[in-house]
Amino acid sequence: MSSKDTSPYAWHVGGSLAARYASGEAAEKDAWSLEKHVEACRPCAARVSAAVRASAAGPALTEVRAAVLGQARASRAAGGRPGAIRSAPHGSWRARGRPTARALWAAGPALRGPWVVAVVLVVLGAAGLAHWAGLTGARALLLALAPVAPVAGVALSHGRHADPMHEIVTSTPTGGLRLLLIRTTAVLMAGVPVLTGAEALLPAGDGVPGAATWLLPGLALTLGSLALGSYVGCRTAATVLGTGWACAVLLPVAAAGPPGATYLFGALSEQLSHIVSGSSAQSGWAVAATLCAGLLALRRHSFDRMEKA
């Protein structure tokens, strides 16, 4: 980076940094700063473009540019609009490029797809069972599902199966762990208030843990899915941890005694109390979350080249 302005915070892309970026040798933080800078600086954007054209990728980019221009000319000859973006209808919230819309779009497919619908349906179903069907165990059921909801959201917001732009996004310096953490934060911000608020509003049954007791388990499972995902992919990791949570919660309940709604809900509440309630359980989940965060920090570079996410 070379300073050319009098402001201590102003900088421009130098020839060395542009060459390293074009060859893929720039450090992640430098590449991130460069990409944000060239969005607003036309001279630096031109300098970086020239460096990229002069790199080994130059011939391929020239062919792509020629193909795009050829398609635009053919569209104009056919009476179409060469500048139209076909991936989004003209006038749609994506095409208009509003900042809020762009932020939601970058947050991940989970916030635009089935995960949000599933969370809303679970909350509405629990509320309906509690208030209209008189089911006293609705809060326990919601508490059993809440910790794995963010895990499912993370699995649905990252990877080839979820994002059609996955290959392009992951090839950029911002497409590794940074993007995954942004989408994970978006999932947590969307799901935590809804699930916690719904649990607080549901009638509390006998022995049912508090509405906020699921937060540390949910955080630990989410971080665990990210850490395990660095080895096997986020989708597989989410499936493994979600299955493990379901077994830990439901198998003891199923094996506890004879069937019956009242007994099963009581057994579920008792099992949840053992798993999430009390200082020892919460401390254990806090330690697990810390360890998973540490492992994730150690494995952060694996997401830069990750193909299984």
**Mean pLDDT for all residues in the chain:** 76
Q: Residue 23 and residue 15: Cα distance in Å, rounded?
A: 12
pTM over 0.75: no
Number of residues that make up the chain:
309
pLDDT tens-digit map of 189-201: 888 888 888 887 8
92: pLDDT strictly greater than 60: no
pLDDT of residue 217: 94
Per the model's pLDDT, the better-predicted residue between 160 and 293 turns out to be 293
pLDDT tens-digit map of 47-62: 888 888 888 777 877 8
Q: What percent of the chain has pLDDT over 90?
A: 15
pLDDT tens-digit map of 235-278: 899 999 999 999 999 888 877 666 655 667 778 888 888 899 88
Joined together, the tokens standing for residue 94 give 């994506």
Question: What average pLDDT does range 168-176 have in this prediction?
Answer: 61
Is residue 186 very low, low, confident or very high in pLDDT (cuts 50, 70, 90)? confident
pLDDT of residue 103: 54
Joined together, the tokens standing for residue 204 give 């509390």
13: pLDDT strictly greater than 60: yes
Is residue 110 very low, low, confident or very high in pLDDT (cuts 50, 70, 90)? low
Is residue 282 very low, low, confident or very high in pLDDT (cuts 50, 70, 90)? very high
Q: Phi/psi of residue 6, each to 5°?
A: -75, -25
